[in-house]
Structure formats: structure tokens, C-alpha cells
A = this chain, B = another copy of it.
Amino acid sequence: MTVSKTAADPLKVSRAVAKQDFDASSDDSLLHLGELSGLLGYSLKRAQLRVFEDFLRCVAPLQLTPAQFSVLLLLDQNPGRNQTEIANTLGILRPNFVAMLDGLESRELCARMRSASDRRSHILVLTDKGRAVLTRAKKLVANKHEARLIELLGPENHAALLDMLAKIAHEF
């Protein structure tokens, strides 16, 4: 955690109404979003859809969804964990995680191993193929996907955006 317990951390971004309204009294152009553009939830959802869309395009050669990519990433960094732990961390409900793992396992990207200490749980492990795919995916994501976002926002703004989103997710 520790996204920032401090109170004032400005981030001087050019505020400026910019492309507010345009007087579309009766043309077929875009409608007035009005107060909708000030609704954080609305902008969040719109931006999230765009980012996921681009993610899918960039990583299309590997046929990985954002959720699948996040699972592989988490397995790589947390070896020896079981399904419940991984699912909980990602906010996925255990029942829904089963089919997801089935998909990854059928493609031999990961495997379930019965734990010796607790024969109820399945220890999740990345296969060699899974590690290879993850490596390629990380490169695609970093070079094609995140790079464009950083270029669009600027590195400092991009970092500030990440911090604010984490803060919302954890402290709101």
C-alpha cells in the first residue's frame, strides 16, 4: 500500500476547460455530455474500455485477455499459491476462477498440483510454455501498449494517474 498517506500532493496539470461544449443546437454531431464529463465514474469506465480494447489488440498474437495476463503475471511472482489465494488477490470469485484456470491449463500455460501439506488445495504453477508466453506478452504490453499510454500522457502524468487509481481502489 502506501500510495500516499500524505495530504497535499499537487500534480500541476493544465486544467482548462478545453473542449467543453460546442453548441450543437440541432445537428447530427455529438451531443452535450454536460455534467457527464465531470462524473469520474463515467470517465473511468470509458477510459477503461479503451485501454482494455487496446490491450487486446496489442496482445492478440498471444491470445491473452487482460484477466488471463494478470493471472500469469501473478503466478510468476507468487509461486506456491493455491487457487483461492490467486483468485482473491485478483478479485475473482473462486467459482469463476475454475473455468478460467481450465482454459489456461488446457493451453498448457499453467498447471494445478495437489499440495502435499493440504490435499484439498491446488498449488498453481507456470509451465515453461506459460513462462515463455508471459515473457513475450510482457514485451508486447510494455512496447506496444503501455508505451503509447505513457507517450500520450507523459511519464509523470502516467505515474500520477497510476497512483491516483491505486489510491481510489484502496482508500476510497
Q: Which residues of A contact B (CB under 8 A)?
A: 1-16, 18-19, 24-26, 28, 30-52, 54-55, 66, 70, 73-74, 76-78, 80-81, 85-86, 89, 91, 138, 141, 146, 148-149, 152-154, 156-169, 171-172
CB distance from A137 to the nearest CB of B (A): 11
Most chain B beta-carbon neighbours within 10 Å: one of A1, A42, A148: A42
Say whether B36 contacts A70, CB under 8 Å: yes
- Complex Cα distance A88/B17, Å? 22
- Measured CA separation A42–B51 after assembly (Å): 9
Report the minimal beta-carbon distance from A68 to chain B, rounded to whole angstroms: 12
- Classify the secondary structure of A's interface with B: helix
Cβ B35 vs Cβ A44 within 8 A: no
B41 contacts A66, C-beta separation under 8 Å? yes
Some 15 contacts from A to B, beta carbons below 8 A apart, are A2-B14, A2-B16, A3-B14, A4-B12, A5-B14, A13-B159, A13-B163, A13-B164, A15-B156, A24-B78, A32-B77, A34-B76, A35-B73, A39-B141, A47-B172
